[in-house]
Structure 1
Amino acid sequence: MALFTKDEALRYHSCGHPGKVEVVPVKPCATQKHLSMAYTPGVADVCRAIHADVALGYDYTNKGNLVAVVSNGTAVLGLGNIGPLAGKPVMEGKGVLFKIFADVDVYDLSIDQKDPKKIIEFVKMLEPTFGGINLEDIKAPECFEVEQTLIEQMDIPVFHDDQHGTAIISGAGLIAALELTNRKPEDVKLVISGAGAAAIACTKFFESFGVQRKNVFMFDSRGLIHKGRTDLNSQKAEFAQERDHGSLADVMRGADCFLGLSVGGMVTQDMVRSMAPSPIIFACANPDPEISYEDARAARADVVMATGRSDYPNQINNVLGFPFIFRGALDTRASAINEEMKLAAARALAALAREPVPAEVLTAYGISELAFGVDYIIPKALDPRVIEWVAPAVAEAAMRTGVARRQLDLAAYKVELRERMQAARARIGQFIETYGLDF
C-alpha cells in the first residue's frame, strides 16, 4: 500500500521553502564585530593562515564536512535519462540523507554535460571547496571512466554511490547470509541478472571477500555474458564465461545465490525451486523486484530473501552506507575511499545485524521483535547505531591503509559521533517545532 499520494509528494517538495535543502549560517552575525569577523577585515586573517598552510582549510572552512553530489541525470534510479534538472530532486534528497543520517553537509550540483572528459574537468575544479565527491546517476559505461580518472587525479575521496553503495550493502547482506547458511564465499555459485554499473561493482566487491570469478554467471539483456559474444564492452568482457551455459533458467539450477539488478519479473518460482538448498536471493530491481518476496517464499520456505524495498525484510538500502562512509572519510581527512574502507563498512554492517535490536528501532518499524536470521541479515536503515559501527570502521581502515591525514582515537570518536548526532537530532526537532510536520 502506498504511503503517500502523488499530490502529497508534489506538495512536500513545493510548500514553504521550495525543494528539500537550504544553506543555514552556523555563526552569528548580529553585531558589528560579528560582521567584521565574518567578512572584511577579519576574514583576511583566516585567508592568510590557509594560504600559509593549506591543511588549515579543514579547520577554518566547511571543507571538512562538505560533499558535492554531482550528477548529469543520465541514469536516475527507476527513471533513466531524464536530465539534470528533472534529476535534481533526487540529488537534493541525497543531501537530506547525508545530513539526517551523518550530519554531513551537501551541495547538489546537477550539470548539463554528457561528455565524460568535460565532467571530469568540471569535478576536478571543485577540489578546493569540497572534502569529498559523491557521483550520482551517471550512466554506464561513462561512469567508470569518470570515477576512475577522478580517483587517480584528485586528492579527496571520489565515490560513485550507484556502484559502490549498492555493492557494500549487498556485500554486507551476503556476508551475513553466507554465515547463516554455512557457506564459504569461494564455493558460491552466483548468478547475476543485470550488467550495468551496480552489477559490475557488486561482483568485484564480492570477489574482494572470496567469491570466485569462475563461479559468476552474469546476464545482460541479450543473455549470458560469455567469450563467444562479440557485443561486449570491456567492463562486461571481464566477467565472460568460457562458453554459453544457456538461459537464466538453465544457469539458475543449483545456484547458491542470485543477485538481481535488472527489471522486475525476471525470475520464476520454478527457477527458485531449482536452486541449491537455502538459496540466497537479492532481488533489487525497483519498484518491482525480479521476483516478489511473496512468490520467492512460497516457492521455497528456506530462501534467504532481500529486496530494494522498505516494505519487506532485508532492504538493500544505500543509505546504510554512503553517509557513514563519507563521515569516516571526512573525519580522517582521507585522500580516497579505498577497497579496504568499503570492505570495513560491509563487515561492520554484517556484524551489527548479529547484535540485539534496541526497542527504539522496533518502535520505528512497528514490530515487536527482530533477531539475526532469515528475515534480518541487514540492519534497519533507521537504526541509530549504524553511524557508531560503520564510520569508525571506515576511519580505522583509512588510518591503517595510509590514506588518512588525521589520526583518531577510535573510542573517543565513537562518543563524539553519538554526541554529534544527538545535537543534530535536537536541531531537527527544533525545526519541526517551528515549521510543523503535516506529512
Structure 2
Amino acid sequence: MIQVAQIIFILSVLVILHEFGHYITAKIFKVRVEKFYLFMDAGFSLVKKKIGETEWGIGWLPIGGYVKLSGMIDESMDTEQMKQPAQPWEFRSKPAWQRLIIMLGGIIVNIILAITIYTIMFSTVGQKYTATNVVQKNGLSFSQVGKDVGFKNGDKIVSVDGELVQNKFNRLIIDVLLSDKLIVDRDGQNKEITLSDEDKAKILGAEGKNFMAPRIEGFKIDSILPKSGAFNAGLKVNDQIISVNNKEFKYFDEFSELITNKANDSIALAVQRDNKIVNLKAKLDKNSKLGFLPGLSLTNDKEKYEVVNKLSFGSALPQAMRESWELLVYNVKQFKLILKPKTQAYKQVKSPIGIARMLPDEWNWEFIWSFTALFSIGLAFMNLLPIPGLDGGHALFTIVEMITGKTLNEKTAGYVQTAGMIILLTLMALTFGKDIYQLVMDKIFTNH
C-alpha cells in the first residue's frame, strides 16, 4: 500500500503542476479554462466543483490529467464548440505565439520543478552519487549474460563511444546499455568491446542494469535461505568463505566460478568466523547454488561508494540545471534505444503499476522527491514528442502554422487528435496490460 501511496502522490504532484503550467499561461493570455482535472474523468469524476468559469475535479482513472481550454480540440474531443463562431476568450482566437507558449507551459513547469527540487536537495541533504572510480577500484564483475557479450570479470570501463567515463556509476550503467563501442582496461591493456542490438536485448531481457556490479574483495554472508545447502551446512550470517575444496579466492565472482557446473555436488568450505577458521561440508542444489545472499551490493555498502557534496544555494542552482539537462539528454538516448526493435528495449517500458513496484516499501521523503524530479524530466520529454494528443504534437502544428501562415482546418485537426489519442491509449493499454500480467504471475509463483 505504501508503494501505491507513493506513486499516487508523485503522479498527483506532477500532473497538477504540469496542468497548472497550461492553466496559468492560458489565464495570462485571457483564454477561458473550462476544466482543470487531476486524473481522467472518463464517464464520471470522483470530486468536482465549479469555481468561477472553471470546473475543478479529480477523475477516477490515474493516468494523467488535463485542462480544457475554450476553443481547442483536446483530450475531451469536444468538437461542438468549434462549430460556433470564434470568441475572443477562446484558444483558437489567440495569436500563434501565445498558443505555443500555452502548449509548452506544462513542459516548462516540469523542468522548473525538477531544477527546484534538485536545488533544494543539493543544498540540504547534498548532491549524492555512486562514485565510479571507487566502484571500479578492483574492476567489475559481470553476470553470465555480461560475459557472453564480451565482458570479463575484472574489466574496468575506460570510455564509452569515445567519451571518458564520468564519475556517476548509475549513469555509466545506462551509458553502457546505450553505447555502440566501449574501451575496457583488462589486465592493464585496453580492449574494445562492441555491443550489438541483439547483445543489448540479452542484457535488458535478463538482469538489465544489474548485469555489472562492483568486484568486491572478502565478501560476507548477508542472509541465508531456509532449508538451503548453506543452512544445512551450518553457515551463519557474517561468515566469510575463504576457500572451496582447498582453493582460495579473492573475489566473489571467483567463488561463483569455483561452484559453477557442480549441481548437487558436496563441497568443502573453509570459513572465517570470529577470527577463527571453521571447516564445513555443504551440498549445492540443482542450480549449483548454496542458498545465501552475499553482502556486496551497492545498497548494502552504500557508505563505501557514495559521494555526498553539500552545496551552497548559489552552487546548487547551476548543478541542478546541469543535472536536469543531463537527464533530458538521457531520455532522448533511451527513446532512441526503444525505437530499435532488435534491442527489445520497448519491453522495459513501464506503466504506473510497474513503476510503483520499483518504489521502496517505506516512505522516504528524500527518495520520493528525487524520484519526482527524475520523473518530471521524463514527463517533460514525453510531452515534447511530436505526437498528436501530446503537447509536442499541438506545438508542432502551431510552429508549422507560424512558418507557413496556414492553419490546420478543424476537421483535419479532429482526425489528427483522434488518431493521436488512439495511439496513446493503445500504448497505455499495452504497458498496463504487461505490468498487470507480470504482477499476477509474480503473485502466482510467490504463492507456490
Q: Which has the larger radius of gyration?
A: 2
**TM-score between both structures, scaled by the size of structure 1:** 0.21
More strand by share: 2
Structure number with the bigger relative contact order (C-alpha 8 A, sep ≥ 6) is 2
TM-score normalised according to structure 2 size: 0.21
